[in-house]
Amino acid sequence: MSATLRNDLLLRALLREPTPRRPIWLMRQAGRYLPEYRATRSRAGGFLEMCTNPEIACEITLQPVNRFPLDAAILFSDILTIPHAMNLGLEFEAGEGPNFERPVRTSADIARLPVPDPGEELKYVIDAVALVRRELRGRVPLIGFAGSPWTVATYMVEGGGSKTFGQIKRMMYEAPRDLHRLLEVLAKSTILYLNAQIAAGAQAVMVFDTWGGVLTPAQYEEFSLRYMAQVVDALTRNADGRRVPNIVFTKGGGAWLKKISGVGCDAVGVDWTTDLATARAQVDGRVALQGNLDPSALFAPPEVLRAETLRVLESYGAGAGHVFNLGHGITPDVDPERVALLVETVQAYQVPPA
Amino acid sequence: MSATLRNDLLLRALLREPTPRRPIWLMRQAGRYLPEYRATRSRAGGFLEMCTNPEIACEITLQPVNRFPLDAAILFSDILTIPHAMNLGLEFEAGEGPNFERPVRTSADIARLPVPDPGEELKYVIDAVALVRRELRGRVPLIGFAGSPWTVATYMVEGGGSKTFGQIKRMMYEAPRDLHRLLEVLAKSTILYLNAQIAAGAQAVMVFDTWGGVLTPAQYEEFSLRYMAQVVDALTRNADGRRVPNIVFTKGGGAWLKKISGVGCDAVGVDWTTDLATARAQVDGRVALQGNLDPSALFAPPEVLRAETLRVLESYGAGAGHVFNLGHGITPDVDPERVALLVETVQAYQVPPA
């Protein structure tokens, strides 16, 4: 039996239940801006070595939660664990980002992709989830995550990061059925993966669609949103006698929030280019919202950071359904003192009644 | 006296006057996808060498107009000519993009920035405009351009391209007055520069705001749109007895089209992430629209490219005020045959009456 969850603000806010204050966690909260992370990293070797070692992944996951009174932990891992498990020769070169030795370009490449068994090839992730959940001892909920099928596919087809997404867009225009087959394999894999994370102890899950925003509106629906909808639809709804809320986040998806909120998810992430008031009008009470401070506001002097944080809190307006977060991941050069101030400001904010 | 303009479709469409068909030109139409461009480039040396030599800039400007029946020429130049003239040590490293030896970081750096005299430090651009205008002999209009103050400032402060814009955002949050002073110098310089291009023969001008989309809505208004409004407001309205239309384009600005259309510009560029029907509803007849085929659609097989092109044409709807373009610059790996097909498809399209 798991320890009772003592701080369930995140889970309640994601389900739009009233909370005395708004919960806060930060995308990439376990990361290079923390000296303890950098120390662990230099001990562990590389990035993949940290992800694939459950003890180290657990240690890193807990670092920000131990340092700041955050309202959630998010598993330290990467959105490329699934293609890594598909044996495409993933490497993280220092300062270069991910690189696949064997990118996926042809229908034959796609036909031979396996659907990884989370209990086998991704066991290290599932073990890390179980370990973190145990070590958290009910302090805060644990968020599991995966990349969206579209976003993961961009790395697999491009062979790494990209500015123009020329390879995958070529596939989209020349061989859309191939791309759909790739996205189907990824959607299936993601469902098994997230449900295994939930079974192992994840109390909420998030789907990161980092690159949906490079598509036209029609392509976004056909190649990204559709597969996130499949994933959301197949997620385990309850675990440990509680609802397991899910969050869908498309960076650059501000214009499509209404459509995103219609896929059956509980909450939608919003980047900083859309005001939460605008976002809230779009989703019209169907989902909770998560976001959306500009990560660069953490460079601001304390009084400016506080003002920007209050502006975000107020832009959501009165009532339930807001989880405070950044609009994108925290960057390596942030001063941890600023994060402390941010967390304190959010947690001191009195939520106006609905 | 200049030669009479024989194809004025672009100028009329930008002013929302009816045209028998929709004009087309392509952002970065003079570029690496053309073998004749690559030949000129290897002869000239580097990118800056091409920009700063009026004969070569003229030759390159005319290449796409000679190859395809495009409805406009756009000057071959770069958005960084102004900071180059400010003596910041601009270099274009092969495959690396622009790099400033002396980035602008402090109020002292900003205080010493000159406003370049277009007739002196930017004479090579103005000479190129005059030369192209003469060589075009009235075939199609010539478009002049500049970067937006915000976009040019990002390169000056970051010292080159950036993914996170950490340096300029730090300045925005820590020292907003410094940033405003920098943007004022750039707005002044841009006004002189564009008006000198108009005086030398540019028949339309465009302001490229490539990086406005990385801002919050409030920051976009304060740091980008405001200065583009200053520029638009101070532009020469008529030359050669004709109105000189202007175009404002913010990549990633789909959510702000209504505000952009209110700054007094004649036309607004739209990237491919916003449907033209949605864009047109936003701007509500105040401006013409320019765009917005996904540049990657040029990788599609001919029948798919044709269908995507017709989809864009139809998404604008009936009536005047649409200039066909890509949603961003053409990429180097495009087959020129596809461009020929695109131009042909747009020019064969019968505009439905309003």
Assess whether A32 carries a catalytic annotation: yes
Strand ranges in chain A using DSSP code E only, listed in sequence order: 73-74, 90-93, 97-100, 142-147, 204-209, 238-239, 242-243, 246-250, 267-269, 288-293, 322-326
Q: How confident is the model at residue B246 (pLDDT cuts 50, 70, 90)?
A: very high
A137 in reach of chain B (CB within 8 A): no
Put simply, the answer to whether B174 touches A300 (Cβ < 8 Å) is yes
Strands B204-209 and B246-250: parallel
Contact call for residues A263 and A225 (beta carbons, < 8 A): yes
Q: How confident is the model at residue B134 (pLDDT cuts 50, 70, 90)?
A: very high
Residue B1 pLDDT > 50 = no
Q: How far is A231 from chain B (nearest CA, A)?
A: 24
H or E stretch covering A226 = helix A226-233
- What would the pLDDT profile of A303-342 be if each residue is shown by its tens digit? 999 999 999 999 999 999 999 999 999 999 999 999 999 9
Q: Which of B173, B278, B294 sits opposite A296 (nearest CB)?
A: B173
Of the ranges A162-166, A184-188, B35-39, B231-235, which one carries the lowest mean pLDDT score?
Answer: A162-166
The catalytic position among A8, A12, A33, A155 is A155
Q: How confident is the model at residue B28 (pLDDT cuts 50, 70, 90)?
A: very high
The token pair that represents A6 in the structure block = 């003592």
A107 in reach of chain B (CB within 8 A): no
Contacts of B214 in chain A (CB under 8 A): 273
Assess whether B226 carries a catalytic annotation: no
B175 in reach of chain A (CB within 8 A): no
Q: Which residue bears the tokens 């339309």? A: B204
Contact call for residues B171 and B178 (beta carbons, < 8 A): yes
A300 in reach of chain B (CB within 8 A): yes
Strand ranges in B157-307 using DSSP code E only, listed in sequence order: 204-209, 238-239, 242-243, 246-250, 267-269, 288-293
**What gap in Å lies between CA B70 and CA A223, rounded to an integer?**
33
**Domain ranges across chain B:** 9-348
Is B9-348 a domain of CATH 3.20.20.210?
A: yes
* pLDDT at residue B150 in the model: 98
Contact call for residues B247 and B206 (beta carbons, < 8 A): yes
- What would the pLDDT profile of B82-104 be if each residue is shown by its tens digit? 999 999 999 988 777 899 999 99
* pLDDT at residue A351 in the model: 84
B169 in reach of chain A (CB within 8 A): yes
Q: Which of A169, A297, A300 sits opposite B296 (nearest CB)?
A: A169
The token pair that represents A18 in the structure block = 């009233």
**ipTM, interface predicted TM-score of the complex:** 0.94
The catalytic position among B8, B16, B33, B155 is B155
Cα radius of gyration (chain A): 19
pLDDT (average), residues B289-310:
97
Contacts of B278 in chain A (CB under 8 A): 217, 255
pLDDT (average), residues B236-255:
97
The token pair that represents B226 in the structure block = 């405001």
Strands B97-100 and B238-239: unpaired
* pLDDT at residue A234 in the model: 98
Q: Which of A166, A305, A331 sits opposite B296 (nearest CB)?
A: A166
The catalytic position among A22, A41, A139, A338 is A41
Residues with pLDDT less than 50, chain A: 1
Contact call for residues A254 and A276 (beta carbons, < 8 A): no
A169 in reach of chain B (CB within 8 A): yes
Strands B90-93 and B97-100: antiparallel
pLDDT > 70 in chain B, percent: 99
Residue of chain B minimizing CA distance to A219:
B273
Put simply, the answer to whether B273 touches A217 (Cβ < 8 Å) is yes
Q: Which of A173, A252, A299 sits opposite B304 (nearest CB)?
A: A173
Assess whether B102 carries a catalytic annotation: no
A322 in reach of chain B (CB within 8 A): no
* pLDDT at residue A110 in the model: 98
pLDDT (average), residues B205-230:
98
**What gap in Å lies between CA B305 and CA A174, rounded to an integer?**
10
Residue of chain B minimizing CA distance to A174:
B300
- What would the pLDDT profile of A86-120 be if each residue is shown by its tens digit? 999 999 887 778 999 999 999 999 999 999 999 99
Q: Say what the pTM is.
A: 0.96
First to last CA, chain B: 36
**What gap in Å lies between CA A84 and CA A61, rounded to an integer?**
20
Contacts of A297 in chain B (CB under 8 A): 173
Assess whether B227 carries a catalytic annotation: no
